[in-house]
Chain A
């Protein structure tokens, strides 16, 4: 299976990375397919895994994906009033974390304000409570956009179950052609989703378009491990354990085989950084988590 990787990788991957419309051959995992086929296949993959998506995430990454997403949120450090667009946000992990973060920042803000109100009359204190109480999020909002209806459905159910309602909206849309106006959002995130986008350059251009000037692009994605020993262990784990877990837990070996292969086909850190720069972003940088298993890329629209 490793020689298959070496053979199919240059051909499909190179064209895929250049994203030429003239060459409709793309990679789907280690297979070579056309653009249309790829989109369909990916849609099916996520349709199949939607219900077990979260469970599988936990078991494959041993729960570490939660830490990765928390780190992403800390890196974003949003202040109340931020408008977030979470693309390929499916089951809402990033959106819920965003709401929690902004809520706690807002709490601290209000507490600080109250500390200063030491000489106010009771009436004034009452008034300030009235004003701020209905604003527990400080006007922050998050829009979750996903191309897959099933994933959105699971996300909405989760939101209802966990009690998230304020400041949250769900939109069906394609990352390559976002249904939003220009210059709308403060932050654009795509966590573990850009790998599944067929034309990454288009997605990056759309991200640039919908961000406000000064807005930030954040991408959390599996990436390449440079350490050779770790890389071998990681490959072993990926190709031997994960598809088996997929079969046992979700009853779907193929989808998880696709997942693991797509990680190998994805451009490495430096290349993605160059692509983000090409889309027009400035101050593009990346941070490796877990030695490169996951990387957070960040860029600003300046």
Chain B
């Protein structure tokens, strides 16, 4: 049927049974505090996942009803999500993943499915944050379209978007430097760069950027620079509520605006100068 083109076209029976059992018992309010927001439902969108359709698409080998069978990727996704709550204690390591697997009722050996340096966990977290940011920006855009909110000026929009995205790092801020260094490993650079650029694209898209000329690259380069530098400032910011970071961010965004104004001024001045020279040349030749 639908599952023919995937070689391991079997249901994960062990995990399915576990989930059925745990779903019945648990009404754990994992979303109790703002920190625990990361429990997104498995059928949600994951940019790095292969297109699979709803997770009811597999029928078991015995022709059983595929109520809640899931694929390997979805299970891995769930393990990583569960592992996030152990990151503040254990760091971005295989230990955190092992603890996460334990909470799902799986053996700690399941952490062997992932790299021992925690790369997948970090990439998973970054992609989850980007997804949340997209949803947030989409919601805001809807409000503007419905006329319930004012359309923000560009600098304020950028500032709020970057601030919202960086605030998602706050629960993990102590271990984030470790994560940054892992993201810079040659093995991870393609994925991490991909995630970064798609996030920046998203922000500009919701900011209303529809340029098709060289501006597209300039805008993205500028915003990437702003984001990265602000992130680094945040790493060593010890002010209450990270106010130093937000002030830094505001200044950088303002700089960027000024720079673009200056650039256009320079351009128009240049054009004016050229016209003046042409006029002078014509006068002289006459």
Known A79-B94, A79-B95, A302-B12; contact A216-B110, beta-carbon cutoff 8 A: yes
Does the CB pair B109–A302 fall under 8 Å? no
- Report B104 CB to chain A, min CB distance, Å: 8
Contact of B107 among A77, A215, A283, A298 (CB under 8 A): A215
Whether B116 is near chain A, meaning CB under 8 Å from some CB there, is: yes
C-alpha spacing A283/B8, complex, angstroms: 9
A81 and B14 form a contact (CB under 8 A):
no
Residue of B nearest to A212 (CB): B107
Contacts of B110 in A (CB 8 A): 214-216, 300, 302
The distance in angstroms between the C-alpha atoms of A302 and B106, with both chains bound, is 8
Report the Cα distance A277→B110, complex, angstroms: 17
Q: Is B235 an interface position by the 8 A CB rule?
A: no
- Residues from chain A with a CB closer than 8 A to the CB of B12 are 282, 302
Rounded to whole Å, the gap between the CB of B114 and the closest CB of chain A is: 10
Interface residues of A in 79-106 (CB under 8 A from B): 79, 81-82
Q: Which of the residues B18, B72, B111, B112 comes within 8 Å of A213, measured between beta carbons?
A: B18
Q: B281 contacts the other chain (Cβ, under 8 Å)?
A: no
List B1-58 residues whose CB lies under 8 Å from chain A.
8, 10, 12, 14-15, 17-18
Check if A214 sits within 8 Å of B94, measured CB to CB.
no
Let me know if A79 and B105 touch, CB within 8 A: no
| Residues in A neighbouring B284, C-beta threshold 8 A | none
B109: A residues at CB distance < 8 A: 76, 78, 82, 186-187, 212, 214-216, 300
Interface majority SS (helix, strand, loop, mixed), chain A: strand
Q: Is the CB of B108 within 8 A of A302?
A: no
**Could you tell me the distance in whole angstroms from the C-beta of A206 to the nearest C-beta in chain B?**
16
Interface size on A, residues (CB 8 A): 22
Minimum CB–CB distance from B105 to chain A (whole Å) comes to 7
Chain A residue numbers with a CB within 8 Å of B233 are none
Contacts beyond the supplied A79-B108, A79-B111: 12 A-B pairs with Cβ under 8 Å = A81-B108, A213-B107, A214-B104, A214-B107, A215-B109, A216-B112, A277-B8, A282-B10, A282-B72, A298-B112, A300-B110, A302-B12
The interface residues of chain B lying within 8 Å CB-to-CB of A186 are 107-109
B 102-133 binary contact with A (CB < 8 Å = 1; else 0):
00111111111100100000000000000000
- How far, in whole Å, are A215 and B75 apart by their CA atoms in the complex? 14
Q: Which residues of B contact A260 (CB under 8 A)?
A: none
B105 touching A213 by the CB < 8 A rule? yes
Pick from B10, B17, B18, B113: contact of A300, CB below 8 A: B113
